Chain A
Amino acid sequence: MNRDYAKYALRRVLQAVVVILLAYMFTFVVISVLPGDPVTNTLRNPQNGFTEEEITRIVAYYGLDRPVYVQLWSSLSRFVVGDLGVSLRSGLPVTRQVGEVLGSTVVLALSALGVALVLAFGTAFGAQYLPRRVGRLLRAFPSLFLSMPNFVIGLVLINVFAFQLGLFQVIDSEGGLATFFAAVALGIPVSARVTEVLIANLDHEAGEEYASVARSRGLGRTRLFLRHLLKPSSLPVVTVIALTVGELLGGAVITEQIFGRTGIGSLVERSVTTQDLPVLQAIVTLAAIVFVVVNLVADLVYPLLDPRVRLGGTTSAARPEPRDLAEVVAP
């Protein structure tokens, strides 16, 4: 088992590295074939006052006159050692610029994930174990949450808690409570999907024979939930979380705008409007890395959580698919 796991893990890590490199190359090619040449546009801006000769020299200095594949190769070899180039706008290294704002976004995304998980597990437990009427009401939550965009939730939260109740200052956007409410706005739609899967799996597991056999051993309902049903029902949640990272990242861009936070979101907005290509390239690559790493972690963790998973094959571990969402609807 352990040697199998080591082999499996190594294979998955190598695959992940290849995917990241491919993502970097793909982004580079797409950006380079886009119409418009921001570099020469900027240089030719009359305000900068470069002569045609100087422009040619600068372009040659940065190697921008060479064929795309040569540029790709040099860019890639710099990427591998962690050099993402220099921002066209500020002249600062891209790594530093991204690094400055990354922390804030990571804090927001992780808090949002935390909020989503707490909400999801609470709702799922309630749907199973509170009186039927309340449980049925709770089962409606996921579809409600899913249909509310995070910017609507964000605006409502700001209006109620910042303007009406004065609980946090919109200006102090990095404060604790402000971060909390931003995380709530971002976390609620994400929680919907986790809740759906969790409720469906809990219903399924509760109907399994081992659950009634465990009850026949004298277990109470709370213990049955905590000791028996929770773990097998939570396993597919690992898959769902891995899939919702994109939602978290995309949502973070919007949420940061609404709550006035500096983060990857504001950096994206700035670099898109100013065509700051090295920064864009870095952010797209970063998103790819986050995606790949999160899924890698899910793949690596899963066999440790579920003893039945058999390692083998070339693709990811045989994680069971989350139960069909249609099953959730039936009360």
Chain B
Amino acid sequence: MAPQDRLTLDRVETPAATPDLLRVEGLSVAYGDNQVVTDVGFGLRRGESLALIGESGSGKSTIARAVLRLLPRGLGRATGRVEFDGHDVLSLSERRFRPLRGRRIGFVPQDPGNSLNPVRTIGAQAREAAALLGELNPAERKDLILETFAQVGLDDPRRVHDSYPHQLSGGMLQRVLIGLTVLPRPALIVADEPTSALDVTIQKRILDLLSRLRQDLDISLLLITHDLAIAAERADSLVVLKDGVVQEAGATAVVFSAPTSEYARKLHGDVPALNPDRYRHLRDRVRESGPPKIEVSGVTKTFTVEGRALTAVDDVSFVVEPGTTHALVGESGSGKTTTIRLLLGLEEPDSGSIKVAGEEVTGRSHASLRSIRRHLQLVYQNPFTSLDPKWTVKRLVGESLDRFGVGTRQERAERVRAALDSVGLGAHLLSRRPAALSGGQRQRVALARSLVLRPDVIVLDEPTSALDVSVQAGIVEVLLSLQAELGLTYVFVSHDLALVRQLAHTVSVVHRGRVVEGGPVATVFDNPRQPYTRALVESIPAPRPTVANGAS
């Protein structure tokens, strides 16, 4: 059965004038007085894929929404020309455009977790997509839905059909959403960061699924992403955006191997997957020798969840040498966060021992934990929530000095300034509040806050996952320079293997609470022994090596 056949009406209307399925010319979008996209143009041919690459604020998602005409009502105003299959999208009335939406242009959203109605079953929402195909009867619709769910790799289509969104994992929900999108057999899919909310191994599977469906069903793909490596791996041509303006565009192989614009070159240099050895000179400096800084041995922690015992951390052991970086790598729910909570003394392990600089962390009183914390600091994942919005930078960074009563007032002010300086922030920011700082500046403030007590060990919990790659590169550089300079020891929690490869010396791969593999980064990554490690390593996007891969 070929559902396109039911859409003959659209076909008759379609003049086969332009070879491009989607053609964008001189597109500008403004929210009120705020111009976010300026004079953007590109073309996407039938059956091909194009990636819009840019960091936050580059206008890439706005372009996607303009193509689908889903800009917020009354706020977003698009001018220029968007031509889809001969239709002038921007000038069509909503009534005339609606038949295209869903039927001819599908949309895969960024965060599957909030993209389905939480109080309706998956099946009820799938029937809406099936209803777009017209006169199928209910039984046929259901068959089609179950068939599509199987096609997108859902193991138990019937269970999925009867479930509510909160009963499924993020990866399954994204498969459902992709299924709903391809079900009416659209000619074009717009995918807005389809994997950025998912774990790395799932990310690869979802991207593989999209590529496969694209080939099987002859669908064009407009991929929106911040990740140059993913774009280069998956798209025939690239459009690099910055602040709503196209910086560079062309076939993937050309843009990727010989970027001409300065921004594209910088982006290329900042993506960890493409530059595994970028920080080698900083990473491989001579380290301090001495006894291990951190010794975790045989630590186990069990929680009780709804009456069932759940072992979050199961017999975990690792050792970190002074002045090195140890990475804890794993997907969400693997026990990384619990491990560092144990390390920081925020939770008590059920068994095992944790030593920091030779001193036992577990089984201490609050007071003696406090003295250890001076030497053991934490930088949180999200700088947008970890800084009190009402406090100034000066107070944020100086708080722990005040708490521990370090030095005179003047000395404290001096140390705050020195800490800011060491993370590359000027003294003019001292009186600012977090709202007046960018994401990268905020994370630098968070880093300065942990540096100000001159700790030996800093635990970094996904410190860059909320930041853009170019900002991430800046933070990573600061971290590594500080390590080289002060001999700091880092415990680095991350799911981004490419990043880990850039900056860590040793690594523990955590899976379901257990360390499945550990050792020097190069050894583990080049010769993974465990299937889980291999899956993780394979999930690092690998850009296509040669020219003319599908781009004719």
Could you list which residues of chain A lie within 8 angstroms of chain B, going by C-beta atoms? 132, 208-210, 212-220, 223, 227-228, 231-232, 235, 305-308
For residue A223, which residues in chain B have a CB less than 8 angstroms away from its CB?
128
- B99 contacts A217, C-beta separation under 8 Å: no
- B438 in contact (CB, < 8 A): no
Do B70 and A232 have beta carbons less than 8 Å apart? no
Other than A223-B128, A227-B128, A308-B118, give 17 A-B pairs with Cβ distance below 8 A: A132-B74, A208-B114, A209-B110, A210-B116, A210-B117, A213-B109, A214-B125, A214-B128, A216-B102, A216-B106, A216-B109, A217-B102, A217-B107, A218-B99, A220-B98, A232-B119, A308-B166
Q: Determine whether B215 belongs to the interface, using a CB cutoff of 8 Å to chain A.
A: no
Q: Write out the residue numbers on chain B whose beta carbons fall within 8 Å of the beta carbon of A305.
A: 119
Report whether A210 and B114 are in contact in the complex, using a CB–CB cutoff of 8 Å.
yes
| Given A132-B74, A307-B119, A216 and B68 contact (CB-CB distance below 8 Å) | yes
B103 within 8 A of A: yes
Q: How far is it, in angstroms, between the C-alpha of A158 and the C-alpha of B196 when the chains are bound? A: 63
Is the CB of B177 closer than 8 A to any CB of chain A? Answer: yes
Q: CA separation between A213 and B166, bound complex, in Å?
A: 17
Task: Write the chain B residue with the least CB distance to A207.
Answer: B72
Q: What's the Cα separation between A84 and B103 when bound, in Å?
A: 67
Consensus secondary structure, chain B interface: loop
Q: Does B101 contact A (CB under 8 A)?
A: yes
| CB proximity of A204 to chain B, nearest CB, Å | 12
Q: Is the CB of B164 within 8 A of A210?
A: no
B102 CB contacts on chain A under 8 angstroms: 216-219
The answer to whether A308 touches B119, judged by C-beta atoms less than 8 angstroms apart, is yes
Fill in one digit per residue for B112-141: 1 if any A CB lies within 8 Å of its CB, else 0: 001111111000110011001000000000
**Best-surrounded residue of B117, B118, B125 (most CB of chain A within 10 A):** B117
- List the A side residues contacting B68 at CB < 8 Å: 216
Contact of A210 among B98, B106, B115 (CB under 8 A): B115
The distance from the CB of A135 to the nearest CB of chain B, in whole angstroms, is: 11
Instruction: Say whether A216 contacts B101, CB under 8 Å.
Output: yes
In the complex formed, the residue of A with least CB distance to B101 is A218
Q: Can you report 8 A-B residue pairs in the complex whose CB atoms are below 8 A from each other? A: A210-B115, A210-B117, A213-B116, A213-B177, A217-B102, A218-B102, A220-B98, A306-B119
Asked whether B509 is an interface residue with its Cβ less than 8 Å from the other chain, the reply is no
Report if A216-B107 is in contact (Cβ < 8 Å); known contacts: A228-B117, A307-B166, A308-B164.
yes
Smallest Cβ-Cβ distance to B163: which chain A residue: A307
Most buried by B among A218, A231, A307: A218
Q: Which residues of A contact B65 (CB under 8 A)?
A: 212
**Closest residue to A223 on the B side, CB-wise?**
B128
Within 8 Å CB of B109, what residues of A?
Answer: 209, 212-213, 216
Q: How far is the CB of B512 from chain A (nearest CB, A)?
A: 24
Interface 1/0s, chain B 128-158, versus A by CB < 8 A? 1100100000000000000000000000000
Name A4's closest neighbour in chain B (CB-CB).
B306
Please state if B164 and A307 are interface contacts (CB–CB under 8 Å): yes
CB of B110 to closest CB in A, whole Å: 8
Q: Are A217 and B129 in contact (CB under 8 A)?
A: yes
CB neighbours (8 Å) of A212 from chain B are: 65, 70, 109
A51 → chain B closest CB, angstroms: 71
| Chain A: CB-nearest residue to B125 | A214
* C-alpha gap A132/B102 in the complex (Å): 27
Alpha-carbon separation in the docked complex, A274 to B68 (Å): 72
Minimum Cβ distance to chain A for residue B144 (Å): 15
Tell me the smallest distance from the CB of A220 to a CB of chain B, in Å.
Answer: 6
Pairwise interchain contact A213-B119, C-beta atoms closer than 8 A: no
Which residues of chain B in 93-109 are interfacial with respect to chain A, using CB atoms and an 8 Å cutoff?
Answer: 98-99, 101-103, 106-107, 109
Q: Which residues of B contact A308 (CB under 8 A)?
A: 118-119, 164, 166
Contact with A along B179-204 (1 / 0, CB 8 A): 01100100000000000000000000
Number of interface residues of B (CB under 8 A): 32
Q: Is A214 in contact with B101, judged by CB distance below 8 angstroms? A: no
CB neighbours (8 Å) of B115 from chain A are 209-210, 213
Contact A231 B70 (CB under 8 A): no
Q: Which residues of B contact A216 (CB under 8 A)?
A: 68, 70, 101-102, 106-107, 109
Q: Shortest CB–CB separation between residue A116 and chain B, in angstroms?
A: 23
Q: Which residues of A contact B103 (CB under 8 A)?
A: 218
Give the nearest-CB partner of A308 in chain B: B166
Name the residue in A209, A217, A231, A308 with the highest tally of chain B Cβ atoms < 10 Å from its Cβ: A217
Contact B117 A214 (CB under 8 A): yes
Residues of A within 8 A of B125 (CB): 214
Rounded to whole Å, the gap between the CB of A234 and the closest CB of chain B is 10
Which residues of chain B have C-beta atoms less than 8 A from A213's C-beta? 107, 109, 115-116, 177
Of the candidates A215, A235, A307, the one whose C-beta lies within 8 Å of that of B70 is A215
With A214-B128, A217-B180, A307-B164 known to touch, is A231 a contact of B101 (CB < 8 Å)?
no
B111: Cβ under 8 A from any A Cβ? yes
Closest to A229 in B: B117
* A224, chain B: closest CB distance, angstroms: 10
In whole angstroms, how far apart are the Cα atoms of A253 and B120 in the complex? 41
Within B240-267, which residues are at the interface with A (CB < 8 Å)?
A: none
A residues in contact with B181, CB < 8 Å: 217
Chain A residues near B111 (CB, 8 Å)?
A: 209
Contacts of B184 in A (CB 8 A): 218
Kindly name the residue among A209, A213, A227, A232 whose own CB sees the greatest number of chain B CB atoms within 10 A.
A213
Report, nearest first, the 8 A-B pairs whose CB atoms are least far apart: A218-B102, A216-B107, A217-B102, A307-B164, A213-B115, A209-B114, A218-B101, A210-B117
Chain B residues near A218 (CB-CB < 8 A) = 98-99, 101-103, 132, 184
- Assuming the A-B contacts A216-B101, A216-B107, A308-B166, are A210 and B128 also in contact, with contact meaning beta carbons closer than 8 angstroms in the complex? no
A231 pairs with B74, CB closer than 8 A: no
Complex CA–CA separation, A212 to B107 (angstroms): 10
Write the nearest CB–CB distance from A121 to chain B, whole angstroms.
17
Q: Which of A208, A219, A231, A235 contacts B128 (CB 8 A)?
A: A219
Q: Which residues of A contact B110 (CB under 8 A)?
A: 209
The residue on A at minimum CB distance from B71 is A212
Cβ-defined contact, A231 with B107, below 8 A: no
B99 to A, closest residue via Cβ: A218
For A208, what are the chain B residues with a Cβ–Cβ distance below 8 Å?
114
Scoring B68, B111, B124, B128 by chain A CB atoms within 10 A of each residue's CB, the highest score goes to: B128
Q: Which residues of B contact A132 (CB under 8 A)?
A: 74
Contact of A231 among B114, B119, B180 (CB under 8 A): B119
A220 surroundings in chain B (CB, below 8 A): 98
Chain A residues with CB below 8 A from B180, complex form: 217
* Complex: A178 Cα to B438 Cα, angstroms: 64
* A172–B298 CA distance with the chains assembled, in angstroms: 85
